[in-house]
A and B are shown apart, each in its own frame.
Chain A
Amino acid sequence: MIGLITKRAGMAAVTLFGVAVVVFGLLRVAPGDPIAMMIGPGATADDILRLRASYGLDQPLINQFWIWLGSLLQGDFGTSISRRIDVGQLLLERLPATIELALMALLVSMVLGGFIAIIGTLWRRHWASGAIDGVNGVLLAIPEFVWALALVLALGVAFPVLPLSGRINPSLTTDFRTGFSLLESLLIFRFDLAADLARHMTMPVLALALPLAGIIARVLREALSEAMMQDYVTLARVKGMSELRLILFEAMRNAIGPTLALTGVQFTFLIGGTVIVEKIFSYPGLGNMAIDAVVNRDFPLIQGLVLMFGVIFILINLLVDFAVVAFNPRLRHG
C-alpha cells in the first residue's frame, strides 16, 4: 500500500512538473515582451536591459525555466500587471470564494444525484422511471455554461427571484475576517448575511451542480440496480426488509464506493467550470479573475491562476486515488 501511494504521489509530481513546463512554454510563445509591459514608456534601452537581466531573461531558455521554477517554488508568483498586486496575495484573496462555490455545488450535485438514483431504483419497474431517465439525460447532456445562461433567463429575468450577479448585496455591511463568507456568517450567527450569500450563490451553484448530478445519478443508479440483484439483497428482502431500506442500507454499501471515486474525478471538471460560471454571474472568485487576466494579457496573473488550478486538480486526483486504495481491500496489498 505504501509502495502504491508513493508511486501515485511520484506520478502526481511528474504531472505537476509537466504542467509547469506547458505553462512556461505557453507564456514564452505569447506575443508581447513582458518587460515592455512592466516598464513605463520613459524607460531607456539600458533600463530595459538591466531589468531583463534581473529577471534572468538574457539567459538561455533552459536557464530561464529553472530560474522561473525556482522563484515559483519560493512562493514568488510575480506581480499582477493589471492590478499591481502580488499574484500570490491575489490568489489567496480569491481562492475561498471559489472553494465555497465549488463545495456547495458538489454537495448539491451529490444530494440531487443521489436522490434521483434512489427514486429511479425504487421505481425501476414503474413507468415513471423512464421519465426520470429522460430528465437525467437532459441534466447531464447540457454543460454548465448553457445551464448558467438558462438560469439567468428563467430565475433572473422571467421570474426575477434571484440576484443576477455578485456574491453579496453591497448595501449589507460586511467585515468578514476570512474569505469564507458563507461559513463565517453562519459561525457568527449572522443568518441575514448567510441568506443573502446563499441567494447570490444559488444560480451559479445550480449551473455547476446540475451536470454533475446527472452523472452521479446515472452511475449510482446502475450500481444500485446491479447490487439489488445480488444474493445478499434477496436474502434481506426475504427477511422482510422494505425496498427503500434495501436500497439505502444494503445496496448502497456496495454502490457508493465506485460512485464516489467517479465523483472525485468529475469534481475537477466542476472546478474547471467555475471559470465561465463565475464570469457569467460576476462572482468574485478565481475563475472570474482568470478570464479578466486573459483579456487584459496579465501574464504573471494568468500563470499563477493556471498553476493554482493545476495543483488543485492534481491534489484532488491524488486524494481520490488514495481513497480508492484505502477503501478497496483488494488493492490494499498491491
Chain B
Amino acid sequence: MVDVTITAASHQNWKPIVAAAFSDPKVAVGGGFILLLIILALGADLIAPHDPLAQDLMLGSLPPVGMAGTEPGYWLGTDDLGRDVLSRFIHGTRIALTVAFVAATIAATVGTVVGLLAGYFGGWIDVVVSRLIEIWMAFPAVLLSILIVAILGSGMHSVIIAIAIIDWTRFARVVRAETMAQRQADYVTASTVLGFSRLGILAGEILPNVLWVVLGLFTLELGLAVVIEAILSFVGLSVSSDTPTWGGMIAQGRGIIYQAWWVFALPLAGLLATVLAFNQLGAGLRRSLDPVMQR
C-alpha cells in the first residue's frame, strides 16, 4: 500500500498536465506542422498531383506559380527533367519521417537503457559507458555517419543504423546524469528501504521520472535525424537515386541553381520548417510535461 502513495506522489495529476501540453502554443504550432508532414507522408500517393518520377522534357525547368512561363497543375514548378517538384517533395517526406522516427526510436531506446544502467549501478558499468561516450564524442558525427553508410552500403536501413549508432550517446549522457540525480531522491531511498528489487526500482520508479527528459530529447533527435538523412542523401549515400528525398533534391537543385532555384528552395524550406517544428514541439513538451519544471 505504501509504495502506491510514493509512486503516485511522483507523477500525480497527469491528466491536466497532458491537457496543458496540448494547449501550449509551441506544442500546437510545432506539432501541427509535424502532423501535416505525417499526413503528406502517409497519403503521398493520393495527395501528390503528379507521379514524382514521371519525366517530361517538354515541361523541363518550369517555374513556380506566379512567375512567367508556368504550366497549369505544376504549382511549384518542375526540375530540369520535367518532374513535378511539389510531388517529389511530398514523396520525400516519406523517407525523411520514416528514417527520423525509426532511427530516433532506436537511438532513444539504446541510449536510455545504457544511461539508466550506468547512472543507477555505477561501478564498472559506468566506467565502461562513460569511456564509450567519450570515444564517440571524439568522432565528427557527420563524417562517422557517412563512413558507416559507406561501409554498410547505401539504403534506408544503413541510414537508420548510422543515425542510431552516432546519436545514442545524446540520450545515454543525459539519462545517466538524470538517473544519478534521481538515485539520491527520497522516493528511491524509500523504495530501497521497503525492500524493492534494484531492477524494479529502476524500471518502476526511476524510468517514469526520467522519461520526460527522454521525450524532450527524442523530439529534438527527430529533427536532427531528418537533417542527417538529408546530409546523407545530399552526399549521394542514402536511398537509391530513384526515390525522391529532400537531400537528393537539394543536391540536384544545387547543380541547376541558376536555371531552377525552386528545385533547391522547396526541400530546403521543408527542412528548415521541420527542424524548427520539432524544436518548438520539444521545447513546449519539456515546459509543460517535465514534473521538475512544473514545480
Contact = CB atoms under 8 A, between A and B. Distances in A.
Interface of A: 11, 14-16, 18-19, 22, 26, 29-31, 137-138, 141-143, 145-146, 149-150, 152-153, 156-158, 268-269, 271-273, 275-276, 279-280, 287, 290-291, 294-295, 297, 302, 305-306, 309-310, 313-314, 317
Interface of B: 131-132, 134-135, 137-144, 146-148, 150-151, 153, 223-224, 227, 230-231, 234-237, 250, 254, 257-258, 261, 264-265, 268, 271-272, 275-276, 279, 283
Contact of A271 (B140, B150, B236, B283): B140
28 contacts: A16-B138, A18-B135, A26-B148, A29-B151, A30-B151, A31-B153, A137-B279, A137-B283, A138-B276, A142-B272, A145-B231, A145-B234, A146-B227, A146-B271, A152-B254, A156-B257, A269-B141, A272-B139, A272-B143, A294-B147, A294-B237, A295-B235, A306-B143, A306-B147, A309-B138, A310-B139, A313-B137, A313-B140
Given A29-B151, A30-B151, A146-B271, A290 B143 contact: yes
Contacts, number: 123
> Taking each of B132, B135, B141, B250, which has the highest tally of chain A beta carbons within 10 Å of its own beta carbon?
B135
B257 A152 contact: yes
Contacts of A279: 235
Contact of A19 (B135, B148, B235): B135
A143 B141 contact: no
A269 B167 CA distance: 13
B134 A142 contact: no
Nearest to A305: B143
B261 A157 contact: yes
A95 to B, nearest CB: 14
Contact of B275 (A142, A152, A271, A272): A142
Nearest to B130: A11
A297 B152 CA distance: 12
A18 B131 contact: yes
Contact of B142 (A150, A158, A276, A302): A276
Q: Which 10 A-B pairs rank lowest in CB-CB distance, beginning with the nearest? A: A272-B140, A18-B135, A141-B279, A310-B138, A30-B151, A313-B138, A275-B142, A294-B150, A275-B143, A15-B134
A291 B234 CA distance: 11
Given A138-B276, A295-B236, A26 B254 contact: no
Nearest to B151: A30
Given A146-B275, A152-B264, 11 more contacts: A15-B138, A18-B131, A31-B153, A141-B275, A145-B142, A145-B234, A153-B264, A153-B265, A294-B147, A295-B237, A314-B138
B227 A31 contact: no
A93 to B, nearest CB: 18
A294 B146 CA distance: 7
A271 B54 CA distance: 41
Contacts of A138: 276
A169 B244 CA distance: 35
Nearest to A15: B134
Contacts of A273: 140, 142
A141 B264 CA distance: 21
Contacts of A14: 131
A48 to B, nearest CB: 23
Contacts of A26: 147-148, 151
A153 B131 CA distance: 41
A143 B275 contact: yes
B253 to A, nearest CB: 9
Nearest to A21: B135
